[in-house]
Copies of this chain bind each other. A is one copy, B any other.
Amino acid sequence: MPFRDIAAKELAKIFSVLAHPDRVRIIEELGAGEKDVNSLQAVLGVSHSRTSQNLAVLRTNRIVTERRDGRHVFYRLSQPELAGWILEGLRFIEGDAQASEARLNAFEKARQKWGSEAAGELLFTNRD
């Protein structure tokens, strides 16, 4: 298989791992620092099983790393810049001329809360 196809396949694979709202949220949350499964579940507002299973997908693909402490398992991003990269992706949605006002508003807020507009700033900093 030509190298281009290998690389394209791998990239597509990564994208498919990221192609789930829960997993995007998880990565964004972990961009602010490690969290245990329960906290993540609470923030996402979904079932613990769903949280756990999406974490498993991220874990299997080495997007996150786990650390056990007592009965809690803490997750963190294997590569913290990943969160920043994802955040940058927002601009490709915003660039869409037909993006609705509500959507644009959401992005604006998300950028403010999740991270910074500065290109060089790669980590999410604020909470709310």
Contacts and interface: CB of A to CB of B under 8 A. Distances in A.
Interface of A: 3-16, 18-25, 28, 62-63, 78-79, 81-82, 85-86, 88-90, 92-93, 95-98, 102-103, 105-107, 109-110, 113-114
9 A-B pairs closest in CB distance:
A16-B19, A15-B19, A7-B110, A3-B106, A6-B106, A8-B24, A15-B18, A3-B109, A8-B21
Contacts of A16: 15-16, 19
* A interface SS class: helix
A112 B85 CA distance: 21
Given A3-B110, A16-B16, A96-B62, A86 B11 contact: yes
Assembly stoichiometry (copies): 2
Contacts of A23: 12
Contacts of A88: 85
A96 to B, nearest CB: 5
11 contacts: A4-B28, A4-B106, A6-B103, A7-B110, A8-B24, A8-B25, A11-B21, A12-B19, A15-B24, A62-B98, A81-B92
